[in-house]
Structure 1
């Protein structure tokens, strides 16, 4: 049973786990996507999403709280700069985990964890679907258009007389 088990310990001590999560979060923020094991990716998602939510409002209090978790000035600047602009309208769900299969050396499940708003492939398809907005046609549309063309020359002939 998993009563009260909210955190995956990843077979590490608490200090080692905090350092690991901090390093993975800094790399995710700076590179926008990283490849790691599936267990670490799932633990990282729980760790980094509240930090990304804090990054949406840029004030001293939030910067100090995020810095206490990350301890990396460049990552903090990136988070409160470019990332906060992209995720400002998103209410949550800032990361995506994609399973990649098993690693050759130790058969560990690997996964790609990425920031959702920084994936150009998915972003382009969504915009491409919206761009060519088709106009619906009715069955009798052609007849009406031909009728309008036939009436126009007749009106011109009457005007010429």
Structure 2
């Protein structure tokens, strides 16, 4: 009998399923919202919420447990520093599943899974991000200028000297 065995198998063996769910949680942490099938979204929700609960604990054992589950230390760092503090007041239900309808190719039901609490970057990280955007825009403006215009400017400067 299958009493108490409610793990969605997703037509995969145990190791493949564990790796799939870990990768989906990592994608959710990185992108804050992912589009996947409804079955996968429902399967990943418990693991994602357990990881946020570990992040709220925040001790070394919780961090190592999360790394052993997700296998990506950088993602665990982002989870513990950004996502878990945003959900500090919430007692559970950290994710939301929104149904999207059928996929065109195979009519699989699709869904978004996303974090309920929108989290804000700390002010220092926001300033760094703005500085990166400004520095990234300056070289892009020079590269957007056609070579012919740059050559004509150089000729004009040379003639002025």
TM-score normalised to the size of structure 2?
0.71
User: Partners of 1:47 and 1:107 in 2: how far apart?
Assistant: 26
The residue number in structure 2 matching 1:5 is 5
Q: Is the 8 A contact 2:83 2:119 kept in 1?
A: no
Gap regions ≥5 residues in structure 1: 121-161
User: Partners of 2:93 and 2:82 in 1: how far apart?
Assistant: 17
Instruction: Give aligned pairs, total.
Output: 120
List aligned pairs for 1:1-161, cutoff 5 A: 3-118=3-118
SS in 2 for 1:56: helix
Q: Is the 8 A contact 2:55 2:62 kept in 1?
A: yes
Q: Is the 8 A contact 2:30 2:75 kept in 1?
A: yes
After TM superposition, give the deviation of residue 11 of structure 1 in Å: 0.2
The worse-fitting range, judged by mean Cα deviation, of 46-55 and 97-106 is 46-55
Q: Is the 8 A contact 2:94 2:117 kept in 1?
A: yes
User: Partners of 2:96 and 2:119 in 1: how far apart?
Assistant: 10
Deviations 1:34-70 (A, max 9, x none): 0000000000002211111110021110000011100
The residue number in structure 2 matching 1:148 is none
SS in 2 for 1:74: helix
User: Partners of 1:108 and 1:84 in 2: how far apart?
Assistant: 32
RMSD value, Cα = 1.7
User: Partners of 2:71 and 2:5 in 1: how far apart?
Assistant: 27
After TM superposition, give the deviation of residue 98 of structure 1 in Å: 0.3
Gap regions ≥5 residues in structure 2: 121-161
